[in-house]
Amino acid sequence: MEIEGAVCVVTGASSGIGAATARLLYGRGARVVLAARRAERLEALAVDLPGALAVTTDVTVAEDLERLVARVVDAYGKLDVLVNNAGQGLHVAIEEIDPADLRAVFELNVVAALVGMQTVLPVMRSQAAGSIVNVSSATSLRIFPGLGGYSATKAALNMISEVARLELAGSGVTVSVVYPSVTATEFHDRLRAGHVAEGARKIPPHPAELVGEAIAFAITTGEAHVLVGDPPRPIIARQGEGGQSFPTRQTPGS
């Protein structure tokens, strides 16, 4: 998908990765639509990006997503790209996770992203073209103590994305997953619960713009899995991909 002239909806555009991605796509000639709950922040960003459309949206509310898509189609007559970026962390040990917190982050990181996809798909199918980029996390590619709840949401998002990609093969719509590592945003100050692990504090954070570059790369190439880096790196995210069988472990129990 070519970015220049594309109508790109970015959720979670009021800060961090979403705001940086909206700026980057705008700089490459996209018509950007900014979606998040904090209207004043979206309006401030829209002042910087003349012509950008700011639509106050709670992505966990299906009617908000329907209104968002209707506004976009009204304004531009099409919707080319959805960046499902809104998300929140839950950095608590498994023993201590409050189920209410886990439900809330699943609702935001997984269910809202799914409903976002379902809401844009009729438009993208009618265009026989579209790009959906789901913002996951590199934490879903490894096992990190303290991140079980959060990583589980992103692992679920990865699976939904992969299945959707296969289901949409031949439709003209691509589904990609982008995997940021620790990134300098408000994310770690706005966790649903818990705190940043000591180890993560020591990792030099990526600038949000680097994640924006990886998202732009996913849009233009349609790659399935993109690890954030300089440059962005297409990866094979899972063993067994492409119908291969899983290797059997030689030493059970370890």
Ligand X SMILES: NC(=O)c1ccc[n+]([C@@H]2O[C@H](COP(=O)([O-])OP(=O)(O)OC[C@H]3O[C@@H](n4cnc5c(N)ncnc54)[C@H](OP(=O)(O)O)[C@@H]3O)[C@@H](O)[C@H]2O)c1
Determine, following the binding rule CB under 6 A, whether residue 220 of this chain makes contact with ligand X.
no
Amino acid symbol at 117: M
Helix residue spans in the chain (DSSP H): 16-27, 39-48, 62-76, 99-106, 112-127, 148-167, 198-202, 208-221
Q: Quick one: 174 or 185, whose CB is closer to ligand X?
A: 185
Select from 7, 25, 68, 85 the one that contacts ligand X (CB under 6 A): 85
Count of residues that bind ligand X according to CB under 6 A: 29
Q: Closest separation between CB of residue 37 and ligand X, Å?
A: 3
> What token pair was written down for 26?
């705008």
Q: Closest separation between CB of residue 251 and ligand X, Å?
A: 32
Segment lying near ligand X (by CB under 6 A), choices 16-24, 71-79, 164-172, 234-242: 16-24
Determine, following the binding rule CB under 6 A, whether residue 17 of this chain makes contact with ligand X.
yes
Select from 6, 12, 213, 216 the one that contacts ligand X (CB under 6 A): 12
In the shown chain, the binding pattern of residues 200 to 219 toward ligand X, with x for contact by CB under 6 A and - for none, equals --------------------
Q: Quick one: 55 or 224, whose CB is closer to ligand X?
A: 55
What residues between 115 and 154 interact with ligand X by CB under 6 A? 135, 137
d(CA 145, CA 141): 13
Determine, following the binding rule CB under 6 A, whether residue 86 of this chain makes contact with ligand X.
yes
Q: Answer yes or no: are the C-beta atoms of 32 and 45 closer than 8 Å.
A: no
Q: Quick one: 41 or 125, whose CB is closer to ligand X?
A: 41
Q: Whose CA is closest to 85, among 122, 32, 128? A: 32
Determine, following the binding rule CB under 6 A, whether residue 183 of this chain makes contact with ligand X.
yes
Determine, following the binding rule CB under 6 A, whether residue 67 of this chain makes contact with ligand X.
no
- Active-site hit among 26, 76, 150, 179: 150
Neighbours of 149 (CB within 10 A): 25
Kindly report the three-state secondary structure assignment for every residue of 152-174: HHHHHHHHHHHHHHHHCCCCCEE
Phi-psi region of 25 (alpha: psi -120 to 50; beta: other; left: phi over 0): alpha
Helix, strand, or coil (residue 35): strand
Determine, following the binding rule CB under 6 A, whether residue 185 of this chain makes contact with ligand X.
yes
Residue 18: what are its φ and ψ, rounded to 5°?
A: -65, -45
- Residues designated catalytic: 150
Positions that interact with ligand X (CB under 6 A):
11-12, 14-18, 36-38, 41, 57-60, 85-88, 108, 135, 137, 180, 182-183, 185-187, 190
